[in-house]
Amino acid sequence: MVKQHELKNESCVEVTAHGVADPERYGGSRSSTVWIKDPLAIHLGRGVDSSSAARGIVVDLSSGTIVELVPAGGEPTGGPTSLRQIVDASEHVVTPGLVNSHHHFYQTLTRAWAPVADLPLFGWLTNLYPVWARLTPRALEVATTVAMAELLESGCTTTSDHHYLFPDGLENAIDIQVEVVRRLGMRATLTRGSMSLGENEGGLPPQNTVQDADVILEDSRRLVNSYHERGPGAQVQIALAPCSPFSVTTHLMRDSADLAQELDVRLHTHLAETLDEEDFCRERFGLRTVDYLDSVGWLGGRTWLAHGVHFDDEEIARLGRAGVSVAHCPTSNMRLASGIARAVDLEEAGVAVGLGVDGSASNDASNLIREVRQALYLQRLRFGTERVTSQRVLDWGTRGSARALGRQDIGSIEVGRQADLAMFRLDGFAFSGAHDPLAALVLCGAEKADRVMVAGQWKVMDGRAIGLDRDALMAEHREEALRLVHQ
């Protein structure tokens, strides 16, 4: 029997930064709220005055929502005696829980694989497809757990995943991922990806990695009906995600758009990632990528795109008018030398810009706070320092990514929003001498969160996911990674 790497259900205790609180100080009563008190700094959004929450945030644990922002000089309206917990945040920068808008969990098994370490996208893919085709249910479960735990410890509370590989024996891949999401207690938009255009028909994937369109659509409907949650506080959501123009037929793109409209779920795909992809679309369809997107019924508000590097001015304007969102993946775009997305132009045209770590074989990490810093520096190369600020890229990694996933209940610290929060310490040599805590979080290179809360429940304490057997998980993950590439 293979060991399950589960998170234990742990009860909340009254704590401060220095230990367990004195129950008598609060009248010996324990209600259902927590005051995250006196943060060193707090990110409420670009241009938003943080003084309205200078003394912290009150969270209702029964609903998992933010119920009060405590302004400078203030106290919670209920008073200290009503609080179940007081958390001293005086050494923490507090942000909304980060939101990851594009990933491929299974790729944690092929990080830093030498045969593809120095290849561009198409060569990278053609070498990796045969390896990924050997993926097993257990390997996917372990890879998903590692990816999500790494994200969680980086301050990420909601993630998406684009899974498009369903070899024989892995038909229930998304069901496996749902179990891991629930076990870890994060939120996720899991996409039922697909590939239907194999190399025999002029596509890039080998034939043993593609599926029949009817099978794809039937399973997509099943997954939405089985798992998709709606409304504020949803933990698991399902989206439809044909992989890319070079791996999916035109008919499946159109049918997926129709099904998403019928089921009222979101649509996701890779688009305009490389010039090779642009050339493929012109040669096969006689269209540029955005024209192709329009031709198959995808140019609308339920669509978010991964990468979006090679758009021209007119295409950016069209995307903004249509309400399309883009997941900017800076590290992946640098690793594969794909180019620099015009993220600022996209946002100013009305496109919701989020951040994605992309797969851990083209980024080699699942660390979202690191991705925020990468976005800052890559975008400054194109747009300069004054237009690309620390607060702007933090907004991309929180509010922008939430919008890309179609969520209004997460991504910001506001009364009524979900209590998804990340708390970062600025300690160690990297932060010594730093003056502005919010700028330091990005500029000095934060690597992990000290605490993370999802829906009012602590999921990370002291920088580690609560209850996770890290050593056993990593040992099995290494075994699965070696088996996959050497099989």
CATH of the domain at 227: 3.20.20.140
User: Do 86 and 146 share a domain, yes or no?
Assistant: no
- pLDDT at res. 27: 32
Q: What is the pLDDT of residues 325-355, one digit of tens each?
A: 999 999 999 999 999 999 999 999 999 999 9
Q: Does any domain span residue 260? A: yes
CA distance 330 to 393: 11
- Work out the average pLDDT over 187-216: 94
Do 60 and 154 sit in the same domain of this protein? no
* Pair 119, 88 in one domain: no
CB 213 within 8 A of CB 252: yes
Dist CA 47 CA 374 (whole Å): 21
* pLDDT of 20 over the 90 cut: no
The domain in which residue 249 lies consists of 98-404
Dihedral angle sign, alpha carbons of residues 472, 473, 476, 478? negative
- In the sheet where 56-60 sits, what is the strand order? 65-70, 56-60, 33-37, 85-88
pLDDT category at 105 given cuts 50, 70, 90 is very high
Q: What is the pLDDT of residues 471-483, one digit of tens each?
A: 999 999 999 999 9
Residues 218 and 292 in one domain: yes
Look at residue 470 and tell me if it is in a domain: no
108 plus 80 within the same structural domain? no
* Per-residue pLDDT tens over the stretch 395-421: 999 999 999 999 999 999 999 999 999
Judgement on whether residues 33 and 160 belong to the same structural domain of the protein? no
Average pLDDT score over residue span 80-95: 85
pLDDT at 78: 74
Under 8 Å between Cβ of 215 and 188: no
| Total domains, the chain | 2
**Domain annotation covers residue 393:** yes
Q: Are residues 105 and 80 in the same domain?
A: no
Q: Once rounded to an integer, what is the mean pLDDT over residues 81-89? A: 79
Q: Let me know if residue 73 belongs to a domain.
A: yes
Percentage of the chain lying above the pLDDT 70 cut: 92
pTM of the model: 0.93
Instruction: Give the list of residues 6+ apart from residue 478 with CB closer than 8 angstroms, or none.
Output: none
Is 7 among the domain residues?
A: no
CB-based contact 137:104 (threshold 8 Å):
no
pLDDT surpassing 70 at residue 29: no
| Same domain, residue pair 370 and 400 | yes
Residues 73 and 184 in one domain: no
155 shares a domain with 61: no
Whether residue 82 is found in the same domain as residue 35: yes
